[in-house]
Each structure stands twice: as C-alpha cells, then as structure tokens.
Amino acid sequence: MILFPGYTLVYGSRMHLTLQQMRLFEAVARHRSFTRAAQELHLTQPAVSIQVKRLEENAGSILVEHMGKRLFLTPAGHAVYEACVDILGRLRLLDQALDDLRADVRGPLELSVVTSAKYIIPPLLGAFIADHPAVTPRLIVTNRARVIERLADNRDDFVIMGQIPPELEVEAHPFLDNLLMIVAHPPPSSRRAARSCRPGLGRGALLGA
Amino acid sequence: MILFPGYTLVYGSRMHLTLQQMRLFEAVARHRSFTRAAQELHLTQPAVSIQVKRLEENAGSILVEHMGKRLFLTPAGHAVYEACVDILGRLRLLDQALDDLRADVRGPLELSVVTSAKYIIPPLLGAFIADHPAVTPRLIVTNRARVIERLADNRDDFVIMGQIPPELEVEAHPFLDNLLMIVAHPPPSSRRAARSCRPGLGRGALLGA
DNA sequence: TCCGCTTACGCCCTTCGTAAACATT
DNA sequence: AATGTTTACGAAGGGCGTAAGCGGA
C-alpha cells in the first residue's frame, strides 16, 4: 500500500541486507551526513544514498529524516544503528580472533627430508618462518633409510620423501608435481606438529601460509 | 606463499565478507554437510561450495576440513562459526525490534477530509488500519470551511483538502496527482498524530504502510 | 545560488543455477 | 556404482561512479 510516491514499504524478507549497507548507514548515522560518510568510506554520495535507501527497503521502515538542513534518525533508524554497531563490532572481534589464531602458530617443528629435497625445502621453510616467527624448526637432511627410521620412531612432526614406505600406516600428501610427499602419522596420533602448528591452518597446509 | 595447489591464503582485507556467506557457513557447520545446508537454504550444492570457499579466502584461513566422509571445522572455522551465530542472532533481534516498532503504531488518529475526498480516503484508511490495528481513527467528512476551521483550531492530526488556505502556516503534501493535499501543522508542534503514528514511520508516510 | 541529497544510466563484479568432472566409499 | 564436493560457464542482479536533476537555506 502506497500513499506518497516513493514510499513503498516492503514487509519481511530482510534477506538481502548487506554488511556494506550497515557500514554506510553506521557512518551516516554517526556523521549525520551522507557526504561525510561517503568521504570517510572513500565512496561517492550517490553510492551512500542508494545503499541507505536499499537498507530502508530491507528494513521495511524509513530510517532517516531530513528536517531542513539536519538529518535525524527515526526510532527504527536507531534500532538499526544499534544493530550495525553491534554487528560491525563483532566482525572486528572476529578479525582479531583470526589474526590471533594465525599468530598462535608457534613452537618446535621437527622435520627430516631426503637429500633430494635439500634444495627445495629450505626456501619454503624460510618463507614459512618469516610468516610465523614463533615456530622454531629443526630440519634434518639425511638419506631415505634414516628418514624412514625417524618416521617409524615418530621423532618428526612430518617428513618429506619421494616414495612412501608401504609397511607404515602413514598419511602422505603429494606436492611439487608428485615428486615429493609430505608424510606424517595420521592425526589422532597427537604429534607435536599437530599441536603446535595446526591451530589456524588446515592439516594439508602445514607449511602453507 | 603456496605449498599445496589451491591453498592460497589471503591476508587482511576481510572487507567483502558477506552475510550470505555467513548464513551458508553457519548451516554448513551445523549440518556438517554442504548438501544439507544447501537444502535448508534452498540453494544448490555448488552455490554453497563456492561461497564457503570465498568465505575462507576472506577469512584468510581454511575453515573446514574433509576427513574422509565427515566434515570438521578448523580452529579458525570455529571462530568464524561463533561469529556467524552471534551476528545472525543479532540480526534476528533487529528484525524483532523493527516488527515491534511497527506494531507500536497505535493510539487515536483524528482527521477531517473535504467532501470530495469522501470516496478516496476510507479505503486507504481501512488498509492502514488493517496493518496497524492499534490505531483508532476518527474520520470526519465535511465541507472545506469546517475543515479549515478544524485545522486552524488544531483539532485534527491532519486534514485532507484540495487548496491549502494561504493564511495558515501549515505543511502540505500533495498526493493523488496533486488533486488532494495532506495538510498538517508542521512538526515541532507536537501533534497527537505525530506522537502516535510517527514512531517507525517517516513523517511523509503517515498513512503509508 | 550554493550545498547536499536523489535519480538515471552504464560498466563491472558477484551470485546462482545447470552441467560436467572429480573424489571417496 | 553411488553419494557428495568441486569446477566451468552463462544469465541475472547488485554496487559503484559519472552526470544530471532537485530541493531547501
């Protein structure tokens, strides 16, 4: 039901509400100005205008009123503003949490690699350490037999070799065009590497960053 | 830095994270299945798959791991899941608040209209009441002179007439192709209609719903 | 007339569905 | 083989900028 042209209020279905709309509206409400909000967010006025309009459509209520020169929030506008502050704050918290998780990649990292990987691994490991300075790796380059021995004794967080030994129940991830494998005991076996490195990283991305 | 193909982790800039991505991820995490999440949200598997992938790119961390048949959340995945629950819950709260605000359109509504609007207004008013049952309107249909008198005496929340009287300082909104005007004393003057109907509605949309 | 908000239009990017490929059991 | 996930691609929709329109001090 419409009385004045342009006042179509859509009930329900606040499905296509957008985080960007919330960011813009929060800035608009804080500055009480579309122009300053646009400046703060490095956007143009029309972009802000249209997004606030869409937000009003999504909310099903008018949120701002222009009384002469100044801009006021309606009660619904205040409700939306509170929600925006809460939600954007929660997002910032999540950002922090994710950063902390990534920063928490720390501790000792024991690995041994076959000689043929001697020139492949150190640069990768170096880049990984650059991203995660709290990790203290100990890299042993040795022959295949000793790598298998260390693997069998569970002395490494993981090893890197070409052919996986069939007599061991291990988990292997091929990499570098299947020339090499990252080999480790499968988790449940609580390896040090698992405890120290896995938070925030997928198991397959032990060295990925 | 990439070690395994497909594990590109993008740092920072969680700017284009989407509410839809959160809805999908929340459902995926709850069901531990892309398929069931897609069913619940009336989407296809690929849509869910790609959005979760994008969410992981935005988060800068892998969020889900496929261990054989079952699906697990990484620590980062749990953090994101908590945030999704919080944010979607907050949105539901906002929905409730907006509905309540709209329901709070209540109270007496006094208006008088010129005779020529006799056949126009009642259906509009009826539809408005249907949406806002707590409003108790009193409609008076009379001639132009009495409408002006009531307007001058401030006895109505607003009136509807064709030509606005020039001797009164009033606020007029044309509607119905400028044949009729909604006329009221401008706010700051705290009219009953303003108090009873305006919460949740823009001033220009007094009857709009 | 100036300033600020809105509308119009066009481009680009994103999203989703269909279909096919891939993986795991 | 069957179930479940991912990739490819085309169509539809949304976001934003530029430019023009509009409205109040």
Contacting residues of A for B79, CB less than 8 Å apart? 94, 97-98, 101
Residue after which a domain boundary falls, among A100, A117, A150: A100
Is B173 contained in some domain? no
Q: Is the pLDDT of residue A65 over 70?
A: yes
| B202 in the same domain as B117 | no
Q: Is the pLDDT of residue A134 over 60?
A: yes
Q: Which helix (H) or strand (E) holds A37?
A: helix A34-40
pLDDT at B74: 85
Q: Is the pLDDT of residue B26 over 90?
A: yes
Parallel/antiparallel/unpaired status of strands A135-142 and B158-161 = unpaired
Is-contact A95 A30, C-beta < 8 A?
no
Is A170 contained in some domain? no
Q: What is the DSSP string of B113-142?
A: EEGGGTTTHHHHHHHHHHH-TTEEEEEEEE
Sign of the four-CA dihedral B57, B62, B64, B68: positive
Q: Is the pLDDT of residue B131 over 70?
A: no
| A87 in the same domain as A6 | yes
| B150 in the same domain as B191 | no
pLDDT at A3: 30
Work out the mean pLDDT of chain A and round it to a whole number: 74
Residue B10's pLDDT band (cuts 50, 70, 90): very low
pLDDT tens-digit series, residues A77-108:
999 999 999 999 999 999 988 888 876 666 67
| B187 in the same domain as B131 | no
| A89 in the same domain as A119 | no
CATH code assigned at B142:
3.40.190.10
CA pair distance B15, A102, nearest whole angstrom: 18
pLDDT tens-digit series, residues B61-104:
889 988 777 888 888 899 999 999 999 999 999 998 888 887 66
Q: Using a 7 Å cut-off to protein CB atoms, list the covered nucleotides of chain D.
A: 4-8, 14-20, 24-25
Q: Which CA-bearing residue is nearest the C1' of C3?
A: A69
| B69 in the same domain as B34 | yes
CA A63 vs CA A186, A195, B201: distances in Å: 55, 50, 8
pLDDT at B75: 84
Number of domains in chain A: 3
| A60 in the same domain as A147 | no
Residue B205's pLDDT band (cuts 50, 70, 90): very low
End-to-end CA distance of chain B: 55
CA A18 vs CA A15, B20, B173: distances in Å: 9, 9, 32
Chain B interface includes A95 (CB < 8 A): yes
Could you tell me the two tokens for A175? 């990499």
Could you tell me the two tokens for A167? 């007599």
| B199 in the same domain as B119 | no
In 10 A of CB B44, how many CB atoms?
13
pLDDT at A209: 27
Q: Is the pLDDT of residue A208 over 70?
A: no
**Residue type at B92 in one-letter notation:** R
**Residue type at B192 in one-letter notation:** R
CA pair distance A68, B37, nearest whole angstrom: 49
Contacting residues of B for A17, CB less than 8 Å apart? 19, 91
Q: Pick A173 or B87 by higher pLDDT.
A: B87
pLDDT at A201: 29
pLDDT at B35: 94
| B75 in the same domain as B9 | yes
Calculate the angstrom distance between C1' of C22 and CA of B6.
15
Q: Which helix (H) or strand (E) holds A92?
A: helix A75-103
| B89 in the same domain as B48 | yes
Residue range A149-156: mean pLDDT, rounded = 80
Is A166 contained in some domain? no
Residue after which a domain boundary falls, among A83, A100, A117: A100
In 10 A of CB B208, how many CB atoms?
20
Q: Is the pLDDT of residue B55 over 90?
A: yes
CA pair distance A200, B42, nearest whole angstrom: 31
CATH code assigned at B22:
1.10.10.10
Q: Could you give the dihedral angle defined by the CA atoms of residues B126, B127, B132 and B135, in that order, rounded to the nearest 10 degrees?
A: -20
Q: Could you give the dihedral angle defined by the CA atoms of residues B67, A124, A180 and A138, in that order, rounded to the nearest 10 degrees?
A: -90
pLDDT at B191: 38
| A86 in the same domain as A14 | yes
Is A116 contained in some domain? yes
Beta-carbon contacts of residue B113 (< 8 Å; ≥ 6 apart): B121, B139, B140, B141, B147, B159, B160, B161
Q: Pick A141 or A191 by higher pLDDT.
A: A141
pLDDT at A83: 96
| B82 in the same domain as B24 | yes
Q: Pick A6 or A37 by higher pLDDT.
A: A37
CA pair distance A180, A174, nearest whole angstrom: 6
Calculate the angstrom distance between C1' of C17 and CA of B45.
10
pLDDT at B84: 95
Q: Is the pLDDT of residue A204 over 60?
A: no
Contacting residues of B for A202, CB less than 8 Å apart? 7, 62, 65, 74
Residue A6's pLDDT band (cuts 50, 70, 90): very low
Beta-carbon contacts of residue A187 (< 8 Å; ≥ 6 apart): A171, A194, A198, A203
Percent of chain A with pLDDT over 90: 29
Residue range A6-16: mean pLDDT, rounded = 45
Is A209 contained in some domain? yes
Structural domain for A17, as ranges: 2-100
CA pair distance A185, A138, nearest whole angstrom: 18
Is B10 contained in some domain? yes
Could you tell me the two tokens for B47? 């849509």
pLDDT at A163: 79
pLDDT at B209: 27
Q: Is the pLDDT of residue A158 over 70?
A: yes
Is A198 contained in some domain? yes
Reduced to 3 DSSP states, what percent helix, strand and coil does chain B have, rounded to the nearest 5?
Answer: 45, 20, 35
In 3D, which of A180, A166, A19 has the Cα closest to residue A113? A180
Q: Is the pLDDT of residue A188 over 80?
A: no
Q: Is the pLDDT of residue A18 over 50?
A: yes
Residue after which a domain boundary falls, among B100, B121, B143: B100
Is A37 contained in some domain? yes
